[in-house]
Chains A and B, each alone.
Chain A
Amino acid sequence: MRIARTGRSLAATVAATALLAACGGAGGDSGTSDGDPVTLTWWHNGIDEPLNTYFEKVALGFEADHPNVTIENVPVQNEELKARLADALTTGEFPDVFQQWGGGQMGEQVAAGALLDLTDDVTSELELIGGSAAGWQLEGRTYGLPFSMGVEGFWYNRALFEQAGITDPPIIQEDLDAAVVKLRAAGIVPIAVGAGDKWPAAHYWYNYALRACPPDTMAAAGASQDFSDPCFVKAGTDLEAFLATAPFQDGFLEAPAQQGDTSSAALLANGGAAMELMGHWNPGVMSGLAANGVGLGDDLGWFPFPMTAGGQGNANSALGGGDGFSCSADAPPECVDFLRYLLSVEVQTRYAETGAGLPVTMGSEAAVSDPNMSTLLTFRNNARYVQLWLDIAYGSTVGGALNDAVAAQFAGTGSARDVVDAMNAAGGS
Chain B
Amino acid sequence: MTDVADETTARVGVTASPATSSPQAQVAGRASARPAAPAPGGRRGTGSALRKRLEIAFFVAPALLLFLFFVVVPIVRAVQLSAYRWKGYGPLVDFVGLKNYVSVLNNDVFIGALQHNLIIVVASIAIQLPLGLAIALLLNRKMWGQGVLRTIIFVPYVLAEVIAGVVWYQLLQPKYGVIDAMLAAVGIKGPAQGFLGTPEYALWTVIVVLTWKYLGLAVILFLAGLQSVPEELYEASQIDGASWWQTQRKITIPLLGPTIRTWAFLSMIGSLQLFDMVWILTGGGPANATTTMATFLINEGTKRQNYGIAGAASVILFVVALVLALLYQRFILRRDIQDPASRKKVKA
Contacts and interface: CB of A to CB of B under 8 A. Distances in A.
A254 B306 contact: no
B264 interface: no
Contact of A404 (B87, B100, B288): B288
Given A86-B89, A250-B192, A105 B305 contact: yes
A113 B300 CA distance: 24
Interface stretch (A225-233, A350-358, A407-415): A407-415
Given A253-B286, A429-B309, A262 B176 contact: yes
Nearest to A83: B302
Residue from B198, B199, B288 with most neighbouring chain A CB atoms (10 Å): B288
A296 interface: no
Contacts of B174: 250-251, 254
B287 A411 contact: yes
Given A250-B175, A254-B282, A429-B103, A108 B193 contact: no
A112 B90 CA distance: 5
Interface in B53-83: none
B306 A397 contact: yes
B101 to A, nearest CB: 11
Nearest to B99: A429
Contact of B286 (A90, A195, A250, A396): A195
B249 interface: no
B156 interface: no
Interface in A365-415: 396-397, 399-400, 404, 407-408, 410-414
B26 interface: no
B197 to A, nearest CB: 3
A89 B176 CA distance: 46
Contacts of B103: 429
Given A196-B197, A196-B286, A400 B175 contact: no
A98 B28 CA distance: 55
B304 interface: yes
B303 interface: yes
B89 A254 contact: no
Contact of B287 (A113, A252, A407): A407
Interface string A410-429: 11111000000000010001
A195 B89 CA distance: 31
Nearest to B303: A400
Contacts of B193: 250-254
Contacts of B304: 396-397, 399-400
B285 A113 contact: no
B173 interface: yes
Given A90-B89, A429-B103, A253 B299 contact: no
Given A396-B304, A410-B287, A90 B197 contact: no
Given A90-B88, A108-B87, A400-B299, A251 B175 contact: yes
Interface residues of A, number: 37
Interface string B98-130: 011001001101000000000000000000000
B257 interface: no
B303 to A, nearest CB: 6
Interface string B280-301: 0011011111000000000110
A241 interface: no
Residue from A89, A109, A254, A396 with most neighbouring chain B CB atoms (10 Å): A254
B241 interface: no
A196 B175 contact: no
B58 to A, nearest CB: 36
B71 to A, nearest CB: 23
B91 interface: yes
A244 interface: no
A109 to B, nearest CB: 6
A373 B304 CA distance: 31
A4 B93 CA distance: 13
B218 interface: no
Nearest to B283: A196
A144 to B, nearest CB: 15
A114 interface: yes
Nearest to A251: B174
A1 interface: yes
A407 B285 contact: yes
B196 interface: yes
A251 B303 contact: no
Given A250-B175, A250-B193, A262-B173, A108 B89 contact: yes
In the A-B complex, the 7 residue pairs with the closest CB atoms: A112-B90, A254-B197, A411-B287, A251-B174, A408-B287, A253-B197, A112-B89
Given A254-B286, A414-B287, 12 more contacts: A1-B91, A108-B88, A198-B285, A250-B194, A251-B194, A396-B303, A396-B306, A400-B299, A400-B303, A407-B288, A413-B289, A429-B309
15 contacts: A86-B305, A105-B87, A111-B89, A112-B89, A196-B283, A196-B285, A253-B194, A253-B199, A254-B193, A254-B197, A397-B305, A411-B199, A413-B199, A414-B287, A429-B103
Interface of A: 1, 4, 86, 89-90, 105, 108-109, 111-114, 195-196, 198, 250-255, 261-262, 396-397, 399-400, 404, 407-408, 410-414, 425, 429
